[in-house]
Amino acid sequence: MALSQEKLLLSALLILCLTIEVSSHNRRFTTPSVTRLTDSFPRVPVDRGYSKAFGAPNIQILNNGSMATLALDKTTGSGLVSNGRFYYGFFSAAIKLPAGLSPGVVVAFYLSNADKFPHNHDEIDIELLGHDKRNDWVIQTNVYANGSVSTGREEKFYLWFDPTQQYHYYSILWNNYHTVFFVDNIPVREFLHSSKYPSVYPSKPMSVYATIWDGSEWATHGGKYGINYKYAPFVVSFAEMELSGCLSNPTAPASSCSKATTSSSDPVNGPEFTKLSQQQIAAMDWARRKLMFYSYCNDKPRFKVLPPECQY
């Protein structure tokens, strides 16, 4: 009898250990050291850099304009949009995600020109996808160019921290050479610009958006779990916003700030931004080996022919 009880106890402890391992899979890593790009650019007060895009009643501007909370409830989500459109730049936000169960919730920080080019738009996306009881928030990155929404270029990663407990940095570097996605200054993805496939690279000026909305149809396990509004409102906080980009001026010649040429007004045109450092490459390799669980370039069932950039 004692032996059976001991076996049961050992089995219970094993199950507990496995449960802890799974539920804390994104909090047990020692992160690599990297250059803090977020310290290289000025912060812009929310009330100066952004306007309310939708869901105005669910938006609060706080701390003398330095931060904002956006809410999602049964009535509406909410979002901010930058006051300018940008060619190139470094765009960042410190974000604290909603706590508790959040399946179907999408928090996004992204660039887009869908309002101006509805059938031929570009996007560079960071989307933070809500979780159910068994899974943590995940980050999805994506790139669309020239309306190519039928070819999603998604990559998904687990986070190595609890994003609901404190603020973490989510950043996008976009210039003539590459687009890089960062989490807490660690590059998790680099999308290289190449003349071999120019049509897949964003080419038109974009606005910057910070939003929260209902993605029940797809966000959590492909739409298996939707939002339960008894837990609403879902509130996300944005702070330490950075908008260091080459502003598009409709009244100026295109060559003064264009995708085809470099410009002294471009804040990410220096040599330190043309390619990742060895330190950043090592950090990105760590993130992709440890945390990436989906890449469109590995999704052969989805694509009969993989997108061209996957070959390089």
Q: List, for residues 98-122, the tens digit of each pLDDT value.
A: 999 899 999 999 999 999 998 889 9
Q: List, for residues 65-111, the tens digit of each pLDDT value.
A: 999 999 999 999 999 999 999 989 999 999 999 999 899 999 999 99
289 has pLDDT over 90: yes
pLDDT computed for residue 287 by the predictor = 97
* Cβ atoms of residues 188 and 158 within 8 Å: no
123, 155, 242, 309: the catalytic one is: 123
- For the question of residue 123 being annotated catalytic, the response is yes
6, 127, 242, 309: the catalytic one is: 127
- For the question of residue 272 being annotated catalytic, the response is no
Give all domains of the chain, ordered by start, each with its CATH number.
43-311 (2.60.120.200)
Amino acid of residue 302: R
CA 88, chain centre distance (Å) = 17
Lowest mean pLDDT among 12-21, 64-73, 298-307: 12-21
3-state secondary structure 150-204: CCCCCEEEECCCCCCCCCEEEEEEECCCEEEEEECCEEEEEEECCCCCHHHCCCC
168-194 per-residue burial string, b: 16 or more CB within 10 A, e: under 16: bbbbbbbbbbbbbbbbbbbbbbbbebe
- In this prediction, residues 191-219 reach a mean pLDDT of 90
d(CA 247, CA 114): 17
pTM (2 d.p.): 0.88
Most confident of 12-16, 122-126, 223-227: 122-126
pLDDT computed for residue 299 by the predictor = 94
For residue 186, give both structure tokens: 């660690």
More confident residue, 196 or 206: 206
Q: Coil, strand, or helix at residue 14?
A: helix
* Cβ atoms of residues 210 and 70 within 8 Å: yes
Amino acid of residue 176: N
Q: List, for residues 130-177, the tens digit of each pLDDT value.
A: 987 767 899 999 999 987 767 789 999 999 999 999 999 999 999 989
16 has pLDDT over 70: no
pLDDT computed for residue 265 by the predictor = 67
pLDDT computed for residue 251 by the predictor = 56
- In this prediction, residues 261-272 reach a mean pLDDT of 72
For residue 246, give both structure tokens: 């080459």
- In this prediction, residues 2-24 reach a mean pLDDT of 42
20 has pLDDT over 60: no
For residue 259, give both structure tokens: 């995708």
pLDDT computed for residue 264 by the predictor = 54
